[in-house]
Amino acid sequence: MTYLGDVFALARKDLLLELRSRDTVPAMLLFVVSTLVVFHFALPSEASATAETGLLWVALLFTALLGLVRAFVAEREERVLDGLVLAPCDRSAIWLGKVIGVVAFLVAAEVVALPAYALFFRPVGWELVAAVALADLGLAAVGTLLAAMAAAGRARELLLPVLFLPLVIPIVVGGVGASATDDPGRYLAFLGLYDAVFAILSWASFEYVVTE
């Protein structure tokens, strides 16, 4: 099989598993909508646009975290990862397949979250959609690598947020900047730069995380 064939086979496996078990995505959808409702009550009624956008980004970040914590559960509990590492494919294909799966979950959550945000708070512009799309790539790229690391640790569910949040602070800066200022171009370019740097780093280093 070619490299891309491996990647798509792995991504297809994740999506099929989710379609059959429906473990993660419904929880992410419910979580993001309930978070938005909580934020409505946490914010004062005359809150500024920046505050509301900021809270949307916090909600998206924690939703992504929820999905990522689940990302390697099957691999860990059923010892799939050992099999995948033994399989005659490039190890980075495992990462890329997982990233495609995570991005699909995130997009599914945001298809609900953004209309909900538009309904509860304020209309959603093209900048916000573009920023969310770019942020998804970065969150999935970094998050998948860190989730694979955390899966090897003892306190996995605790370890992942601690590893993940400091690394994605730049995504929040870029996302809030792109959706709350008059000049979104700079912030979108920054998000693109972040995606490129960390996607390449994660792609190149995933092999070391799953092998000895």
Partner 1 sequence: MSTSLRNNEHVVLAAAAGCLLLAGTSLAFYWVPNAPVEGFRQRIFYFHVPIALTAYACFGWAAWKALRLLWTRERRYDLESYTAVHMGVIFGILTLVTGSIWARTSWGHWWVWGSRQLVLFLVLFLFYAAYFMLRYSVEPGPRRANMSAVYTLFGVALIPISFLAIRLAEDLVHPVVFTHDVQNRLTGSQLLTFLVCLAGMLALAGSLYANELTGKRLDARLRELREALQ
Which residues would be at the binding site for partner 1 (CB under 8 A)? 50, 145, 149, 152-155, 159, 162-163, 165-167, 169-170, 173-174, 176-177, 180-181, 186-187, 190, 193-194, 197-198, 201, 205, 208-209, 211-212
Shortest distance, CB of residue 159 to partner 1, whole angstroms?
5
Of the pair 116, 175, the CB lying nearest partner 1 is at 175
Of the pair 30, 181, the CB lying nearest partner 1 is at 181
Shortest distance, CB of residue 212 to partner 1, whole angstroms?
4
Shortest distance, CB of residue 72 to partner 1, whole angstroms?
14
Of the pair 23, 183, the CB lying nearest partner 1 is at 183
Asked if 37 and 120 touch (Cβ cutoff 8 Å), the reply is yes
Asked if 11 and 100 touch (Cβ cutoff 8 Å), the reply is yes
Shortest distance, CB of residue 165 to partner 1, whole angstroms?
7
**b (16+ CB within 10 A) / e for 56-71:** bbebbbebbbbbbbbb
Of the pair 28, 159, the CB lying nearest partner 1 is at 159
Of the pair 19, 155, the CB lying nearest partner 1 is at 155
| Helix/strand/coil for 211 | coil
Look-up: residue for tokens 């946490």?
42
Shortest distance, CB of residue 190 to partner 1, whole angstroms?
6
Say how far apart CA 59 and CA 177 lie, in whole Å. 16
Say how far apart CA 191 and CA 128 lie, in whole Å. 12
**Tokens coding 79:** 């010892």
| Helix/strand/coil for 122 | coil
Asked if 112 and 30 touch (Cβ cutoff 8 Å), the reply is no
